[in-house]
Structure 1
Amino acid sequence: MHTLPSHFASWGSQTRFRQRGLRAAFALLLGGMVGLAAAPAAGQAFPGAPDEPAINLRLYPLATWSPRVGGGAGAGLVVHHLGRRHAQALLTAAPARHEQVATAAWASANPQRARQYVLVNARGLHTNRDWFYGLGPRSSSDARQPIERSAARVRVRAGQHFLDRRLLLQPHVGLSAHRVDRVPSPADPSLNAASRRHLRQLASRRIGPLAPSHTALRVGVDVQYDTRSPRPRPTRGLLLNGGWERYGAVSSFVQYDRLDLSAEGLVPLGGAHRLVGRLSLARTVARGEAPVPYYLRPMLDGTQVPGLSRHRFVDSDRLIGSMLYRFPLAQPLRVFRLGGHVGLHAASVYDNVFADAALDLTFDDAADVGEASVPLRPAASVGLRVGLSFREVPALDLALGVGPDGVTGVRFALHQDLQALRPPHHQLRQP
């Protein structure tokens, strides 16, 4: 039987261990950064970067309005050759009616070209329009409750390419902080029993209350293996990604491991026609008595599968499968490149994917999901991709999906040459 003093004693020793590990990881990354700063930087430039130090203004059109965040604006400053040749720094801000986001980043070199690099990212966000439908595939669309919360994260990544750039190893370390100002009510009768129990656990003082705030140390590593044909527009090959992260909160007892695995295969069909198959798995395993808060778990919505509502499903694990047919449409004035895609998708979330997953499909948004198995939710999509014929980026991707929720709004995705430094501004939770 564990007592509260024994919990704190155990937590203190674990925290001291993690802090020592964190200091060692920071020292290694700092040493790598110093080495990179002194190393030659030939062939490591970002696309379009000038030869001399300079500052450029950037506008982010997709940060000006969306149904969730309301009206706003998005702009940033790019500083070229900051600290070393071919280094890049980026400062951005995207204030909007319901959400405010700011980012800062620095890259020692272009991750797409350099053999070695260091990336430093910081991001802060406040929103009064996050939502909670409940946990799991049994959550109801009628149970939606608004959330107001803030989050901040600082992360340092060091990348190293091997095997003629086919293999990438990227360890990372960082800090994150979360504050919840308006939490969902466990008394809502629309919530299922698991969701009500989860919200009561988060408010329990026995595990250290998560509201109003908690901070955490995060350490992990990402591995990528890429056999795709040369860019900018590969037509064949396989892309494998794997990532592991350990999360250890300092101000509460939350501890968990997050595992992300994905595979993408390209099959040429002649010319620019190709099939793209994708399969991804996200798994979260709690390491302790405290539950993993809902806003730190994998989420499934229209950003991953067109045809699902925003922030619709969340749970410990997530499985997504997609098959897309991509085809060319036109090249107006030989400047723009227009392509189309149609796709089929199937996905779901689980408390335990290995125990709950089933290959059945459900087309009913309010399906009575059994305790023994969880069926996949299907969706279909059609989309358009717009790019410049002489550059890989920027490219605008539009997708309209149809699923059990009905027809959702168009999904916009703007891919830019600094995407490695700044993820989409209005991205509330970890994908």
Structure 2
Amino acid sequence: MQIDEKLEPILAQVLSRNAGEAEFHQAVREVLESLGRVIAKHPDWAEDALIERICEPERQIIFRVPWVDDSGQVQINRGFRVQFNSALGPYKGGLRFHPSVNLGIIKFLGFEQTFKNGLTGMPIGGGKGGSDFNPRGRSDGEVMRFCQSFMTELHRHLGEYTDVPAGDIGVGGREIGYMFGQYKRLTNRYEAGVLTGKGLVYGGSRARREATGYGAVYFVERMLGSRGQDLAGRRAVVSGSGNVAIYTIEKLQQLGALVVACSDSNGYVVDEAGIDLELVKEVKEVRRARISEYAELKGAGAEYVEGGSIWDVPCEIAMPSATQNELTGKDAKTLVGNGVVVVGEGANMPSTPEAVRIFQEAGVLFAPGKAANAGGVATSALEMQQNASRDSWSFDQTEARLAHIMRGIHDLCAETAEEYGAPGDYVLGANIAGFVRVAEAMRAFGVI
């Protein structure tokens, strides 16, 4: 898809102003490619630098994070929080702890988060943060000391009406607990709504852990339903083996799909009888080990492949749920050749632009991450609701709300694509629907 000539100067400005930030460039380009139809319908939206303002974060915070490891050595990491857009509500988005984290990745994630949050219909703006700290192989004491140092700086920028972080890659319940404890200590306030993804005993929401994976499957189920099809009996592959992947597998299995493969950064396992989810949880959540241990523990029937591509495994349902740009054009051709029917992005921007084009040209149902994986942040907003009302909902009540929100997001994307002359194009539908909600709020506020 080409960018409308009226929007080319905006992309050129983004590329110039944010040199070297390839992931951010990719995210902006993808959205701008969809907006030509919006500008044709609403030419006044090209005024007042509205799109330029949406592409520029409201605030970018970078800070030093010093901490002491178990051997007594001082370590230095870099912390980030990009408060991208607050037109719809307080900044909302996860914290990622991974060696790959840099400003460009955090900006791409915050930009995507702005539109994703808009799609949910919840009163939350877009933000993202994290650090190049790697929690893998670190003791609980080291992780705690890092989290406390990280929050010592970050806390001054947070608040339930200002900025509400959650978890992401490398940040689970353990890390959220340490950070919430430090926030409470520094502020002398029990402000439960300042972080989401908390433990149930101190203000967390049931179904939050499951929400991103479950939500992605609900979206895919709705897509298939639009063609009179369902998930039952279909062969599925889910990349990753972290929180999103685990609960994607769980919901797929509950709805009758056969999940035969999952992965981590070292390789992937294939289990033709169906992935043993409890064993995956044991390996990844309890032992914090590599996915290769799954094959060692399972024995006969489970094969571990070191390196390579999980997308070589034939499937009808592909759910990339690990990290950005993990599914390439070559992988997409392989999947199409093997008969893939639907691709649902559980991770943020896991498919390259070439891969997306190949899927769309082949008529494969394609669910972009900003729509398909919005269940996590939607349930975070539900956690904020419970914190504000000093309430606690049941799992079934929360999951029912999640399912309703995800089906609503699907229908909004489908209807928007239809309205703008591209029926079945969920990428265009998601980009335009999210943009319109943010843009309408920004126009109401004037030039700020």
Q: Same fold (TM over 0.5)?
A: no
TM-score, normalised to structure 1, is 0.26
Which one has a larger percent helix, Structure 1 or Structure 2?
2
Answer with 1 or 2: which has the greater Rg.
1
Larger RCO: 1 or 2 (CA < 8 Å, sep 6+): 2
